Amino acid sequence: MSAPNESTLRQQLVDCTRMMVMAELLDYSGHVSARLPGTDRILLPCRDASRAGITVDDILVVDLDGTVLEGNGPAPTETPIHTGVYRARPDVQVVGHGHPPMSTLFTMVDRPMIAIRNYGFRFIGVPVHPDPTHIRTAEQGAAVARTLGRCGCCLLRGHGSVVTAKSVAEVFLDSLEMEENARSTVHAASLGPLKPITPEEAKLLEASYAKNDYRAEKIWEHYQEKGRLAGLL
């Protein structure tokens, strides 16, 4: 599949941001960015645009130093989250930073994230970055990238999440399912002792889900339609 062009990426970032607000993965802050294919330039929303009403005109182009090259308004305060990951991970094309309430609970207790839902096997033991402050500097961004390592996502202590992928649809999918797995864990714990997905089951699930390479686009289209019906897209 060919890489999306800049115009398509801009619209995908707008739709993703609005859908993440609808799914309560983003609030008044947080951001999703995309690497312009074949460059060291990044598309991401300006700091002050409402995440619920963002438009393509609110998307900036910045370099890996966080300098705004195109667009109006300042870059987000935590742009170093994105630039730090893109510098360290050439394979990453899209980065999402949000404040999912249930997933973030796992940064506040002495318990790693487990899998309760079958798709949750992807999030077992996600790393937690120990710095609870805003990620404002290049050094802090590089530290987040080290915590992330080769994982697809990490959590920020008392703060939120960082999710990476090769497409905007995949970042939306993983953000959505990580939060739903966390929510299911909290709810299940109120019913009795937890019975998490085992390592043996996780191996079977990894093979099973590998056959479902259409899932990201299917869920993306579903939430797009929900957003259109709700008048949000």
pLDDT tens for residues 34-82? 999 999 999 999 999 999 999 999 999 999 999 999 999 899 999 999 9
Q: What is the mean pLDDT of the chain?
A: 96
Q: Which of 182, 177, 174 has the alpha carbon at shortest distance from 108?
A: 182
pLDDT tens for residues 147-184? 999 999 999 999 999 999 999 999 999 999 999 999 99
> For the whole prediction, is pTM greater than 0.85?
yes
Q: Would you say residue 2 has pLDDT above 80?
A: no
Domains of the chain by start residue, with CATH:
6-228 (3.40.225.10)
Average pLDDT over residues 30-34: 97
pLDDT tens for residues 110-149? 999 999 999 999 999 999 999 999 999 999 999 999 999 9
The label of the residue with tokens 């790693």 reads 112
